[in-house]
Structure 1
């Protein structure tokens, strides 16, 4: 079948119940005044002779191929949201001559609200700087995407563009399932989810709901639909963390989680730390090529009691992480409902987040163009502090998001520098106890930020 023609969908693929990730983001959308914290912006800086018709057709190829990009979320007859897939229609790519600051225009485009009941969950705009320079901006609502899916979108968009430019038929491999198939499958998993839920209830029993991380300003007590955020980026040496993995039989994620928890615990004066982390949520290889929101959340509890050595801490983290992975399928919202949720404006179970991107982004190539993914400005965040890490050769790229109503940039930089110092000291001697790993602020390596 030609990829530019709509593949026939079964009745079950045209409408149905929300998946649990969709349900989670629908609730956030409904009760947080359409916060742009749940928008996923992507910007490509394109240099060269751009074919706007080919780009428009490439975008249509994606919306035809992935029915989730044609999905609306109206309220159904029972008073609950349902997912309804629309027909594939011609794609409109608004093209505007650049007038003013490009980043200000892109920020406004990313922050514009979605009406998920009637609007498509994806919108695009093309900004023209000159005949040979453009910015393609795509904003998706998180209800239809995650980091894995965003990478799929970029790879398929650039591939389809090149094929259209060359006059070739799109050659993307056929999809055997659509997102609605996954959503229905999730709703059949009550029994295995119940078993996993019992694990999380036992694991999180008695866990602190408040990390107590010292802040530069008092935490607002009122509910905030939009949490102001900022993002800063640096890089730290990868060797200390990698040496720890080789010497302790742990993974890179386990080492980073142990270090992050130890530093947070020290700052907060805690011996019991809970950190949120994402998992892909794709248990079936058939859904690997799909765009959609599959991501699930794990609440990773780390026991720092008894002043363990670094090696002992890593052993604890390794055991807890392996058990968490064995029970990663149950939707996090069900864990929240079972364990309990705060109502004082703080995030349930944890206020800090750690994400490791294990697979580096593949280079983007478009026929006749130089392509660069431009960094989007973060103006809203979901957590007090978030560490995103990406292996890049002998470095770890570290992107830190933080709540600007709570923290000054200097404080967040200090947290990252302490994290880097902890990894270095831990790798030098894994038999040292946590209390022995102290690095005076004056001796912290000053990282280069951007």
Structure 2
């Protein structure tokens, strides 16, 4: 049996042990000493360095505000969060320097208190944005908080804010599922009915770093694939600042259902997925705008490739790098074929952190722009949302509130879209240091035109699609 299979078998056996047996085993393995610090995962380490670079940056805050209709039991709500934080160590974790390296420290379980948002604010969105935009001190306290905005006796907004270093978007579904069960359990005077977790996030971080150190994370593939990739140089409205600030804004993106349906039919005909077709359309848009046929686009993926990771709260998502292959003025159908092949290979070699790739490529340090990927693309389509979009919490009705715009951008331009019954919707997030709002709106409209034209005729060449982008 291979070492990987033996390790997976051992993890499954350990997951079946009662908590007290696991604690005793850990103590025995450590010679009677409890380990005080744990390494960060490679993804966490990148976010930790970014936070040290700019402690006030809230670009990596994940916010989930929901409207609660009915008599909110604040005691039960706080008790539910307390139970969840006791269950998931990552919600009790601080990030400190241990010598010259960052490390995570897991605090003992304690009571979670709800913050009270200012009820005097007449603008819910402004109150939520103000609460979400407060920076975290990662060394002093756990990297999340929850606050309640009371609007009336039977009307309130619950705002959950978490730093990306402890969660990803998959985690939100887990969090809301457990919040619903723990809230009901406290109201009914019973223990929550939740399965024992198979592991904790720190266990994953240790194993992930071991895989990287042993060279089992496909680094050679990525260095070969991405060597020599040039930066994306979109035409700018303003001179590039000497240092990246992360200031940003959003422009709405919309593509009608009929046009999206046409592109989806083209994708099926070329044995591709809608994600691949939309990624190709975004690459066409960027390439035509920049006058380039070679550049990279970052694509977030869930990173939960093993079933025991599914019930955990933590930061598992990673960034795949899609290198555009627009050379030779191919028809859109040919570009889609290239995109399909490239995406399949990238997924087969997933699991390597972007930081390891950057280090191996020796990408020159440029404080004025994000490294390697100046653009991102995300189609929200394969993440669990059944509990995230829940409509009840115990005896309370739940409505999802609009996401606050914190005025931040993680890269120069990022397209974040979803497929709904009316077509494609979403946002184009952009750096306001580089682009005016009018430019961002034109880029969003150009993407919609490419989707429409390519869906109507995949035989159109990129030069023809590019002319539509520039007009």
TM-score, with normalisation over the residues of structure 1?
Answer: 0.91
Which residue of the partner structure matches residue 447 of structure 1? Answer: none
Choose from 396, 400, 410 the match for 2:438. 410
What do the CA deviations read for 1:33-59 (whole angstroms, capped 9, x no partner)? 341112222211112111111111111
Paired residues, number? 435
Q: Does the 8 Å CA contact 2:415/2:429 hold for their aligned counterparts?
A: yes
Q: How far apart in 2 are the matches of 1:244 and 1:426?
A: 8
Q: Could you say what secondary structure the match of 2:176 adopts?
A: helix
Q: Does the 8 Å CA contact 1:259/1:419 hold for their aligned counterparts?
A: yes
Q: Could you say what secondary structure the match of 1:170 adopts?
A: coil
Q: How far apart in 2 are the matches of 1:137 and 1:70?
A: 19
When residues 35 and 96 of structure 1 are mapped into structure 2, their CA distance, relative to the original with a 3 A threshold, is closer
Q: Could you say what secondary structure the match of 2:62 adopts?
A: strand
Which residue of the partner structure matches residue 63 of structure 2? Answer: 41
Q: Does the 8 Å CA contact 1:69/1:121 hold for their aligned counterparts?
A: yes
Q: Does the 8 Å CA contact 2:285/2:469 hold for their aligned counterparts?
A: no
Q: Does the 8 Å CA contact 1:13/1:180 hold for their aligned counterparts?
A: no
When residues 190 and 384 of structure 1 are mapped into structure 2, their CA distance, relative to the original with a 3 A threshold, is closer
Q: How far apart are 1:391 and its partner, in Å?
A: 1.8
Q: Could you say what secondary structure the match of 2:151 adopts?
A: strand
Is the counterpart of residue 229 in structure 1 residue 248 in structure 2?
yes
Q: Does the 8 Å CA contact 1:144/1:293 hold for their aligned counterparts?
A: yes
Which residue of the partner structure matches residue 419 of structure 1? Answer: 447
Q: How far apart are 1:342 and its partner, in Å?
A: 3.3
Q: How far apart in 2 are the matches of 1:84 and 1:199?
A: 34
Q: What are the equivalent positions in structure 2 for 1:126-205 lying under 5 Å apart?
A: 126-190=148-212, 193=215, 196-205=218-227
Q: How far apart in 2 are the matches of 1:380 and 1:302?
A: 26
Q: Does the 8 Å CA contact 2:117/2:131 hold for their aligned counterparts?
A: no
Choose from 323, 326, 345 the match for 2:368. 345
Q: How far apart in 2 are the matches of 1:392 and 1:14?
A: 47
Q: Does the 8 Å CA contact 1:6/1:87 hold for their aligned counterparts?
A: no
Which residue of the partner structure matches residue 448 of structure 1? Answer: none
Choose from 367, 372, 384 the match for 2:412. 384
Choose from 387, 394, 398 the match for 1:367. 394
Q: Does the 8 Å CA contact 1:216/1:406 hold for their aligned counterparts?
A: yes
Q: How far apart in 1 are the matches of 2:279 and 2:117?
A: 44
Which residue of the partner structure matches residue 82 of structure 2? Answer: 60
TM-score, with normalisation over the residues of structure 2?
Answer: 0.87
Q: How far apart are 1:308 and its partner, in Å?
A: 0.4
What do the CA deviations read for 1:71-99 (whole angstroms, capped 9, x no partner)? 011222x3212111111111111335501
Q: Which of 148-157 and 6-15 deviates more?
A: 6-15
Q: Does the 8 Å CA contact 1:341/1:349 hold for their aligned counterparts?
A: no
Q: How far apart in 2 are the matches of 1:62 and 1:441?
A: 48
Choose from 232, 236, 249 the match for 1:215. 236
Q: How far apart in 2 are the matches of 1:439 and 1:271?
A: 15
Choose from 287, 290, 306 the match for 1:284. 306
When residues 33 and 318 of structure 1 are mapped into structure 2, their CA distance, relative to the original with a 3 A threshold, is same
Q: How far apart in 2 are the matches of 1:372 and 1:313?
A: 41
Q: Could you say what secondary structure the match of 1:277 adopts?
A: strand
When residues 241 and 66 of structure 1 are mapped into structure 2, their CA distance, relative to the original with a 3 A threshold, is farther
Q: How far apart are 1:179 and its partner, in Å?
A: 0.3
Q: How far apart are 1:264 and its partner, in Å?
A: 0.3
Q: Which of 96-105 and 268-277 deviates more?
A: 96-105
Which residue of the partner structure matches residue 112 of structure 2? Answer: 91
Q: Which of 340-349 and 136-145 deviates more?
A: 340-349
When residues 272 and 40 of structure 1 are mapped into structure 2, their CA distance, relative to the original with a 3 A threshold, is same
Q: Could you say what secondary structure the match of 2:400 adopts?
A: strand
What do the CA deviations read for 1:296-319 (whole angstroms, capped 9, x no partner)? 111110110101011110111111
Q: Could you say what secondary structure the match of 1:82 adopts?
A: strand
What do the CA deviations read for 1:281-301 (whole angstroms, capped 9, x no partner)? 222210111111111111110
Q: Could you say what secondary structure the match of 1:303 adopts?
A: coil
What do the CA deviations read for 1:136-187 (whole angstroms, capped 9, x no partner)? 1121111101111122212322332233334343112221111011011112
Is the counterpart of residue 401 in structure 1 residue 401 in structure 2?
no
